[in-house]
Amino acid sequence: MAKCEFCGKGLVFGNNVSHSHRKTNRTWKPNIRKVKADIGGTHKTVSICSRCLRSGKVSRAV
């Protein structure tokens, strides 16, 4: 599932709008990474967005 397990960021729905202003459905997907993280002293594989990984909310397991 395209959802961050920490911040809850997920799919966002909207419209493609052409030059003639016709609208079609589209989605924006978050940049989700499967990462081995150190959570509570154990190593778990979690799905997190790249922003949470970059900001340091999650530390990678070494």
Q: Is 21 helix (H, G, I), strand (E, B) or coil?
A: coil
pLDDT at 46: 95
Mean pLDDT by 10 residues, the chain (62 residues): 92 98 97 93 94 92 85
Q: Which of 10, 57, 58 is nearest to 35 (CA)?
A: 58
Indicate the pTM of the whole model. Answer: 0.75
Token pair belonging to 2: 């395209």
